[in-house]
Structure 1
Amino acid sequence: MNNKLTVIAASLLVAFSAPLFADQAEDIASLKEQVRELQKKAGGNNLKFSADYRVTMDSIEYKMADGTTAKNDGLLSNRLEIGMGYQPFDNLVFHGLLSYNKAYGESLGETGMGDFDWVTNENLSDNGLNVKEVYMLYLGDQFFGNEQIPWTASLGRRPSTNGFIANNREGYDQPKSPLGHSINVEFDGLSISAKLDQITGVSGMDAKICAGRGLSSATFPRFSSTGTDYADSDGGIDNIDMIGFIVTPYNNGQYDIKAQYYFANNMIGYDKDNTAAGFQDFGNLQNMTLSMQVNGVGEFINDFLDDTVLFASASASQTLPKDGMAMLGSTDKEIGYSYWVGATFPAFFEGDRFGLEYNHGSKYWRSFTYGEDTLIGSKIAARGDAYEAYYNIPIIGESLYFQLRYTYINYDYTGSNGFFGSASGTPTAMADIASGYGGYYVESAQDLRAMIRYNY
């Protein structure tokens, strides 16, 4: 007998037994409780799913420093994300997100750095369905006994792409954690956050500690020839770990301010004089970011300004080389900076929106934004200038919408999307590139993208 028939049968038994055995109240109450448990198992005790599917067509072009070009006029791709979640208790949540992302008619496979853990689901790959997010979330109602401080703790593969202000270009997405100006990669780790507004009296104030591992030193796989499965290797790459702090000093719904600091160790890269040695540890990196978003200009001035969103962010990174390694081509502690401004505003019809963004990065700017959803490479990582415009129009509510987006990046220096070594991370001015080597360096890139997306 299936669950539904069991529930019906048990319910009828309770209904008809009550007048005949009125003196057996305890047994009836017990039977009713069994019915409730069966109803829970039949209807509510299961994972809840969501679907996010899009089809995009990109026209991309790269202009090299020697004047040559590389392009693809019609790159079609699919992306499917299947979300899942369940809350068995008021204070416990499970969340997962599976992703598939590939070009039409092509399984590009894991080539180059396409399989690097930070960008597993952002690169066009094959037909495989990968885990993008999976974590447990605990919801606490009092922090160390203080009922005025609700708190949360999570552990697993955290939602660390499409963060604050980076979400604006993605249509109607809500921001994830952390701040998109300096971190936009997939990451495994933990977080603990606490709401501080009740004890401080400051609207929306909260604080979060995040920590994670970006690369494991477990060098040897299962059944390795050495017999030392998952052990470190002498002279091998150390763990890449990161710790960060995210603070919201103020958020009243209209004005939202967030600050973030992180420290990451054992940054990897290639030595330009010894690329055959593979990845090496070049040093550590720290970053400070301050971002702000204004949801509506003024108050009840007019409908257009009330529905206009402005955002701005400033970020600074500093390299911390170790053992005389030339981190980003320099043995000194180098500071890089980036700023980013943008706006989204209503357009012609109900729910449609235009967006404009501009960002600039300096010579030694370095971000963790490898997972940014831009096929020509992260615009936020650019050591130079990036311009972007987009138009989102809902077709059926926010469940089905169309986007047209154009991104243009002009690089002042090389190495914007490289790692942290001297081989791919050294910033070289475009004007200083030696004759004959210009075909190896992208001077500018552009991406015109049309997308239709279903999200429910």
Structure 2
Amino acid sequence: MVKKTLALFLAALLLAPATPFAAPSTDDLARQIDQLTQQLAALQEQLEEVRENTDYNSDSVEQLESSAAKWDEQSRIRFSGDYRFRMDYSDTDTKAYWGAGAIAGAVRDMQTVTGYDVQSILGMMNGYSAAERKGMIENLPASLAQMGLMQMGLMPGTAEFGAAFPSALAAVNAAGVVNGYSMTPKDTYENDILYTNRFRLGITADISDNLEFKGRLAMYKAWGMQSNPTDVGPYMMNQFYEMDGATTRQPADSVLRVDRAYINWTNVAGLPMWFSVGRRPTTDGPPAQLRMNTPERMATPVNFMDYAFDGATLGALFQNPIDFMGYSKIRFCYGRGFEAGPTAQANELDDMDFGGLSWDIINKGARFMNIQSFMAANIVNVPDGVTFTNPLEMALGTGDGTLNTANLGDIYHTSFVYMDKYTDLNYFLAGGWSRTDPDGVDEMGSTLLGSWWENPGSKDGYCIYGGVRYDLDDLGLKFGLEYNYGTKNWISMTPAHDDMTQAKLATRGHVGEVYLIWDLPVGNLLSDKAMAFMRLGYQHYEFEYTGSGNWLGAPVDIDKLSDPLNAQFFAPIDKMDQVYLTMEAWF
């Protein structure tokens, strides 16, 4: 613009007619030249300003391009997370039972008096009825004195027996056996209120067009505690929250731990296949998302496999030929549940590994069906990070008093789930089958669903699980109802359960649950991942057999615990009621 103005001005001077005007004087010409010089200087200043502005704008564009590159770099990494405040009330009734420590002490006393080894003592006790065994242990000094006299041919009720009994009893007492043993009485465990905080931070990073990293860190603790308050009482599996499969899944401390960390390689060889390896997304699988109020599936396996472990997956995706079925995914999954490390050949210990298939048969909208089948090989009795007392060693004064790790055999597991939605009613049906194949016994005489050095053979267990949830979107309310039942020999892989005290899907018996979800009216949510809601629920447990959630030792009818050979390490739960209230924010 300035150049055009200057050109027009000079042209006007050249084209201006000279004849009508008088010839300018020398002073006039000098004055005009001076004015032109000032105007040219002013025009040069304007041109310099334009040039500076152009350079500034060029620099700004370069800065914007540099910033955009940095923003694009940073956009490869995305964060998400959730926070949960939870309140729990629980009331638990236990049965009277023989403690493992008491029976170990009785076996020691019998060994002291008779000189028999443990297996011989057990064989002798098996020759009596359950009621007779109970009376024997409760009145052990008299029972041992009587047994000694009977071995000498003196029968109870005879004069000879009556005459010899006092001295026989005195000899038993002199050997250090002066008292009998008694059952642990039934009890009630109540926690009037437990507060917990849980915070989880999710991370997703794009590495290339076909490779991404996903991770999640988690902190889970009870108010006022840096340990797990739920390991007090009869909650057997909660005693082992240190085990790898339960990491971050039960209250512990305020440390932020790795919950998930894995990479996904998609479009392998240009095919609809993927490979994934790392700390697996194997907790809170379907149909848990209904009860936990998440809009999508949170893990690969059906919820009967709720076990945090490290492993790998190779999968493929394909479209079903029937539109009703949507698409399918089939995966081969492998993982490790225990690393044996270097061991001496004389005491060889094998790694505990998982391997199997997971097949999404139907996947279209809310309609979903999955079947999974796997084998857990070389199952160990004591997971990593767990110290388990050996009461026999403690009673006999042998060994180190703890249970050494041993391989017990294999577990086979198959389960399925079908989910769908009709208008505002969500519903699902799930079922599971477990089978044990024991081939080893630990130093306590326990194996897969077997005790006292017995060979129980293979045992089958079953579970059925169903539920509904009705959504009232206009009111922001959701009502849910669930029920599950497990048989005597049912085994679930659920150490990473989210039921606070006892894994409901591991229960050998009945569990009913009812819950209400309220989406909080907190205004417009600022992300498609954002949620804010409260959840109020009630769970009622009725146990039929002992050892729910555990593969070690024989399950016992909850009404047959008066038999000393049915001794328990933990108080067996009869019934339990639990009420919980959560307030959760997802972002």
Q: TM-score, normalised by structure 1?
A: 0.81
AA aligned opposite 2:434? S
CA contact (8 A) 1:181 1:289 kept: no
Pick closer, same or farther for the CA change 1:392–1:14 going to 2, 3 Å: same
Unaligned runs of 5+ in 1: 1-10, 18-30, 219-230, 297-305
User: 1:305-344 residue pairs with structure 2 within 5 A?
Assistant: 306-323=423-440, 326-329=447-450, 331-344=456-469
| C-alpha spacing 1:47/1:273, structure 2 compared with 1 (3 Å) | same
Shift of 1:294: 1.1
**Residue of structure 2 equivalent to 1:294:** 420
Residues 74-128 of structure 1: per-residue CA shift (max 9 Å, x gap): 1001000011111132212111100000000111169842211101111110111
Rounded to whole Å, the distance in 1 between the matches of 2:256 and 2:447 is: 38
Q: Which has the larger radius of gyration?
A: 2
1:244/1:132 CA distance change after superposition, 3 Å: same
Structure 1 residue 253, shift from structure 2 partner: 2.0
Is contact 1:353–1:392 with CA below 8 Å preserved after alignment?
yes
Q: How big is the shift at 1:251?
A: 2.5
The 3 A distance-change label for structure 1 pair 361 and 43 is same
Tell whether the 8 Å contact from 2:259 to 2:279 is kept in structure 1 after alignment. yes
Percent of residue pairs bearing the same amino acid type: 24
Report if aligned partners of 1:59, 1:449 keep a CA contact under 8 Å in 2: yes
Residues 484 and 510 in structure 2, CA contact (< 8 A), matched pair in contact too: yes
Structure 2 equivalent of residue 119 of structure 1: 246
Equivalence for 1:413: 545
Distance 2:360 2:254 in 1: 39
- Which of the pair is proportionally richer in strand? 1
| Counterparts of residues 282-431 of structure 1 (less than 5 Å) | 282-296=408-422, 306-323=423-440, 326-329=447-450, 331-347=456-472, 349-395=474-520, 396=522, 399-418=531-550, 420-422=551-553, 426-431=554-559
Q: Distance in 1 between matches of 2:194 and 2:302?
A: 26
Contact 2:283–2:303, Cα closer than 8 Å, also in 1: no
**2:440–2:447 Cα contact (<8 Å) kept:** no
Task: Name the amino acid aligned to 1:91.
Answer: N
Unpaired runs of at least 5, structure 2: 1-52, 97-185, 232-238, 383-389, 394-400
User: 1:408: Cα distance to partner?
Assistant: 1.4
Query: Contact (CA 8 Å) 2:94, 2:571: kept in 1 or not?
Result: yes
Give yes or no for contact 2:463–2:486 (8 Å, CA) kept in 1: yes
For 2:497, give the aligned amino acid.
E
What is the Cα deviation at residue 363 of structure 1? 0.6
Aligned residue number for residue 48 of structure 1: 78
Post-superposition CA distance 1:368-408 (Å, at most 9, x none): 01111011211000000011111110113662111101111
Provide the secondary structure at the position in 1 that maps to 2:326.
Answer: coil
Mapped to 2, the partners of 1:292 and 1:272 lie a distance apart of 45
Aligned partner of 2:38 in structure 1 is: none
How far the C-alpha of 1:331 sits from its partner, in A, is 2.7
Distance 1:308 1:200, change over 3 A: closer
One-letter amino acid matched to 1:332: G
Q: CA RMSD in A?
A: 2.8
Query: Residue type matched to 1:188 in 2?
Result: D
- Say whether 1:39 aligns with 2:71: no
Q: What residue is the counterpart of 2:88 in the other structure?
A: 58
**SS of the counterpart of 2:559?**
helix
Q: Is the 8 A contact 2:492 2:506 kept in 1?
A: yes
Aligned partners of 1:194 and 1:14: how far apart in 2? Answer: 54
Say yes or no: does 1:135 pair with 2:262.
yes
- Which of the pair is proportionally richer in helix? 2
Match of 1:162 among 265, 271, 284: 284
1:280 corresponds in structure 2 to 406
Find the aligned partners of 2:299 and 2:438 in 1 and give their Cα distance. Answer: 28
Distance in 2 between the 1:91 and 1:14 partners? 40
Residue from 436, 440, 444 that aligns with 2:571: 440
The structure 1 segments of at least 4 consecutive aligned residues displaced by more than 4 Å after TM superposition are 11-15, 34-38, 109-112, 143-146, 198-202, 270-275, 435-439
How many equivalent pairs are there? 403
Secondary structure of the 1:380 match is helix
> Which string of whole-angstrom CA distances, capped at 9 and with x for unpartnered residues, describes residues 29-69 of structure 1?
xx97x975652224542532112111111001211013420
CA distance in 1, matches of 2:440, 2:563: 33
1: CA distance between counterparts of 2:326 and 2:471? 27
* Counterparts of residues 99-110 of structure 1 (less than 5 Å): 99-108=218-227
1-structure distance, mates of 2:344, 2:574? 39
